[in-house]
């Protein structure tokens, strides 16, 4: 599976860790419901992209850290006209810009597929 293409105008990808919308584990929420909920709760337009189950963390010697991985993180894009409005609101619920999640200082273990790094460079 590859990355989901962002629709025109949806330029900032966000990551909401440990959040299910619809998942491989059978949640019944649909992407459109999530998008509507975000509009109602935060007054912003979003495009649901995907949910990714995290891989286990790896220690500095390359060994898997037991008890890690298996978390579902939701990836979505926010419309460029709503970014400033959402910049502070998102912090209240732990939503992060993808650039912050994948920054070398934060991303110390490859828990996502390598392809997610391409979400950082997409612009409508």
Q: Domain total for the chain?
A: 1
Q: Considering the domain boundaries, does residue 1 fall inside one?
A: no
| Nearest C-alpha neighbor of 15 from the set 95, 99, 89, 108 | 95
Would you state the pLDDT for residue 93? 92
Do the beta carbons of residue 13 and residue 98 sit within 8 Å? yes
* Over residues 2-10, mean pLDDT: 93
The pLDDT tens digits of the residues spanning 36-79 come to: 889 999 999 999 999 999 999 988 888 999 999 999 999 999 99
Q: What percentage of residues in the chain have a pLDDT greater than 70?
A: 90
- Enclosing domain of residue 30: 10-111
Is 4 within the bounds of a domain?
A: no
Identify the pLDDT of residue 22: 63
From its phi and psi, is residue 94 left (phi > 0), alpha (psi between -120 and 50) or beta?
left
Position 121 in a domain: no
Distances from the Cα of 102 to the Cα of 24, 25, 29, 43, 118, angstroms: 23, 25, 27, 26, 11
Threshold 0.85, pTM exceeds:
yes
Q: Taking the CB of residue 35, how many other CB atoms lie within 10 A of it? A: 17
CATH of the domain at 68: 3.30.70
Question: Which has the higher per-residue pLDDT, 39 or 27?
Answer: 39
pLDDT score at 73: 94
């Amino acid at each position: 599976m590859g990355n989901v293409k962002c629709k025109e105008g949806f330029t900032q990808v966000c990551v909401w860790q440990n959040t299910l919308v619809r998942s491989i584990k059978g949640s019944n929420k649909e992407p459109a419901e999530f998008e509507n909920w975000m509009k109602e709760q935060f007054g912003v337009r979003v495009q649901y992209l995907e949910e990714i189950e995290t891989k286990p963390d790896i220690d500095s010697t390359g060994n898997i850290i037991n008890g890690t991985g298996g978390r579902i993180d939701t990836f979505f894009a926010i419309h460029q006209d709503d970014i400033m409005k959402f910049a502070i609101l998102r912090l209240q619920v732990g939503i992060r810009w993808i650039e912050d999640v994948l920054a070398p200082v934060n991303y110390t273990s490859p828990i996502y597929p390598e392809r997610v790094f391409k979400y950082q460079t997409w612009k409508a």
